[in-house]
Structure 1
Amino acid sequence: MTENITPDETLDCRGLSCPMPMLKLKKALKSMAPGTVLEMMGTDPGTTNDIELGAKKQGGEYLGNKEAEGYISYYIRKS
């Protein structure tokens, strides 16, 4: 599913610990147009637990994630 997603913007949260990725996600989604897709790259394992609910709370739709070398990419569409 996520292999076919082309993000409109990328947010690099690698190396950041909770709650910073969620705070940066909130800020990024505020400035995005509805329907656009954000790729958020992260290394904090806690992000995987928080991302779906966090995206929904910030007006986004969690589309899934993809593991890469040393990090995970999370995909969120601005509602």
Structure 2
Amino acid sequence: MLSDKEVDARNLNCPLPILRCKKALNELGPAQVLKIMATDPGSKKDFDAFCRQTGHSLLEMQETDGVFTFWIKKRTA
């Protein structure tokens, strides 16, 4: 999946991956896509909850060898 920005939050524990995500989304325009990689097992629940609470769209999540990759589309309003 294509993205407009990529953030590497591997080897960081909660809440740092979410904070990096929030900062990166603030730098993007409406409807742009952020790709973020994390290794914290709790990040699956964290990013799902973050997107539901903030109105961003969690487009996809993949797990490969303990690395969780999320594609998040920034809300338009």
Q: TM-score normalised to the size of structure 2?
A: 0.87
> Relative to structure 2, which stretch is displaced further, 56-65 or 67-76?
56-65
2:74 counterpart (70, 75, 78): 78
Determine the C-alpha separation between the residues in 2 that align with 1:76 and 1:56: 11
Aligned with residue 64 of structure 2, among 56, 63, 68: 68
Q: TM-score, normalised by structure 1?
A: 0.85
Could you tell me how far 1:60 is from its partner in structure 2?
Answer: 1.6
Determine the C-alpha separation between the residues in 2 that align with 1:23 and 1:13: 10
Superposition misfits of 4+ residues, deviation over 3 angstroms: 56-59
In structure 2, runs of 5+ residues without a counterpart are none
Aligned residues, how many? 75
Percent of matched pairs sharing the same residue: 36
Aligned to 2:10: 14
